[in-house]
Amino acid sequence: MGMLGRTADHRIHEAGALAAALIGLIFASACWAEAPGVVTSSVVTPSVTAGWSYYGGTSDGTRYSTAHQINRDNVADLRLAWSYSTGEMQRRGADLIANSSTETTPILVDGNLVFCTPFNRLVALDPGTGRERWSLDPKIDLSHPIPYQYNCRGVSFWRDSQSMGPQLCATRIFMATNDSRIIAVDAATGRRCPNFGVNGEVTLVRDAPPKFPGEVSICSAPVVARDVVAVGSFIMDNLRTDAPSGTVFGVDVRSGALRWKFEPVPRDPADPAMSTWLEGSATRTGAANVWSTMVADEVRGIIYAPVGSASPDFYGGARKGNNSYSSSLVALDATTGRPIWNFQSVHHDVWDYDVSAPPLLATLRKDGANIPVVVQNTKQGFVWVLNREDGKPVFGAVEKPVPQNGLPGEWLSPTQPFPIKPAPLVPLTLTPDDAWGFTFWDKRACRKKIESLRSQGIFTPASTAPGTLLVPGSAGGANWGGAAYDAEHQLMIVNVNRAAQVVIMIPRKQIPSLTGISLANGTDVSAATGTPYGVHREWLLSPWGAPCSPPPWGELVALDLSDGSVRWRVPLGSIEKHLPFHFEWNLGTPNLGGPIVTSGGLVFIAATMDGFLRAFDLQSGKMLWRVELPAGGQATPMTYEIGGRQYLVMVTGHHMWFGSPAGDAVVAYALPDSRAAAH
């Protein structure tokens, strides 16, 4: 993520290019008296029947809504109810918009619909009309190099149980920023909380500062538990071995004082994880950052943190050993930040297989017993169903031998963990016989490409030219969009990518002047300084720019968590906009963003590169409705029912790596008044 050394001329600028979208998926791996833009604290809001007060819908991160006014029978009648423009298109200008991605999901708190723009402008809307109630711009650093992905996926709230009546900041909105601050504002008015840090903000300071603006930032929503607000960080991939540490910070929700820090690359010699970093390599390594969204179990006082890979991604000779806590799900004590348990999904990760999806919490009915579980989807297409209290796989796991013979100086784990159930959601191999094309000509070209590459299935280590086939690619499987869960039917819905990737390691002497990352012609080359190799990545594409792997290239999958079986799977996305004539051809497309589920028996998801928001039948997977969005839809929708009417809300905008159409519209869909009243 984040490319140094690339010029503006090399930006992805055509929404219609499959190759451009696939390249983007590689990297998918304020004093209280200050007046906000608009303050309407006296507004009376209708009662909320079904809310959405967390980034993941519920505190468990299930993205489930009890709203059911919109259902299978009437979803086709959805119409645009209101639209709001954030004004960012005019406010920021074309260059900054092109250097940003819209991935945010609003939350509904105390009658305000609250969200952040990619530039951390915090906005509250009337949820029934879309009118702005207040806004706050913390004036983030806009000097980050091109390309840099300005981004804000969401915000969080906290309600003070000790508060006596309506007081300023009795309910707070927390937002983490691109320039590593935590901002706290009053949920009703948008005024900064005077007792939180300095002027309502805390600046996070790392032991080793970044080398340039934007190398470290925060883009995901904070998590709040046991009066602690915790944040991870985004760190630019593949630049250097000694990248900044992926520190997770926990600060006091009232004062902003630092309560604890967790270092996924262990720094304490007494930490048991230190034994998995051989030859003192933990002191020379960085990243292993929590760039995705954490989830908290407030009752147990546990924060579940999905941890990414250590630096750099594709060569680990300088960090020998299994490298705990990298590429793991780590359960942290919310009060102290100490690890309770960790489950490593990839030993010594040299494939950029970050744990990128937000975990979700559920209670699983199995063999007559209720088991509290945390479910973790991964880029490999694995679904790990773990006991929430001890991290043990509920369906079991097995260590399987994996390909060896890495590059000189590399260290590889002889085995990797595989879940016994569920089965992988995406293919783990790609053979010449699997080559696909629109015609015999491009199919033959794909077959020759596959034949030329080192390919021994998943976990094949990277090699020099002609390169190694990475299956699945580093964008997944599942990515940061994560999954939704219907507890009544124990049904999990998740979107996946199914395209393969080519990785070529370049000897350092061939790229002596490269210090960052360069993109051109559908490929990327990154320096990975501190190693003997740079890294060249590209997606396995035909001469026509389509994936050589067979479709669907994007898919929506329903998994029964009671037994690990797949209930249904359908292609997600159409390639109609790439055809010379209009034809809805659902071969699936690359996708970023996640699904939601409602008690109306529906799954809603955008995410695809074709720009549509869709509704699917929860039980069958049949597509029931779709609408074209005014701009890119690489975010997760949300829904709520207020004043007797259910709304489906989607924040749209440009996405840097998809090259999706620019825009700044928040749109809400609802049934016509007559249909809603008849419900």
Q: What residues act catalytically?
A: 352
**Residue 237, φ and ψ in degrees, nearest 5:** -75, 150
**492 pairs with which residues across the strands?**
485, 559
For 510, the 3-state DSSP assignment is: helix
The region that residue 579 occupies, defined by phi over 0 for left and psi between -120 and 50 for alpha, beta otherwise, is beta
Q: What is the DSSP letter of 272?
A: G
Whole-angstrom distance, CA of residue 214 vs CA of residue 147: 10
Instruction: Give the CA-trace dihedral at 255, 256, 259, 263, to 10 degrees.
Output: 180
In whole angstroms, what is the distance from residue 610 CA to residue 542 CA? 20
Q: Identify whether the C-beta of residue 318 lies closer than 8 Å to the C-beta of residue 284.
A: yes
- Whether residue 472 contacts residue 584, with contact meaning beta carbons closer than 8 Å, is answered with no
The DSSP-derived string for 562-606 is: TTTEEEEEEE----GGGSSS---------B-S--EEETTTEEEE-
502 has which bridge partners? 469, 538
The DSSP result for 122-189, as a single string, is EEEE-TTT--EEEEE-------PPSS--B-----EEEE-TT--SS-TTSEEEEEE-TTSEEEEEETTT
Helix (H) or strand (E) holding 98: helix 94-98
Give 93: exposed, middle or buried? Use CB within 10 Å, 0-12, 13-18, 19+.
exposed
Query: Which letter, b or e, does each residue of 291-308 get, where b requires 16 or more Cβ atoms within 10 Å of its Cβ?
Result: bbbbbbbeebbbbbbbbb
- Phi, psi at residue 24, to the nearest 5°? -60, -35
Report the alpha-carbon distance of residue 494 to residue 173 in Å, rounded. Answer: 28
Decide the pairing of beta strands 523-526 and 612-617: unpaired
**Residue 647 token pair:** 């709304």
Contact by Cβ (8 Å): 344, 438: no
Separation CA 481–CA 248 (nearest Å): 21
CA quadruple 454, 457, 460, 463: dihedral, nearest 10: 20
At residue 282, the 3 state secondary structure works out as helix
Query: Residues 617, 602: contact at Cβ < 8 Å?
Result: yes
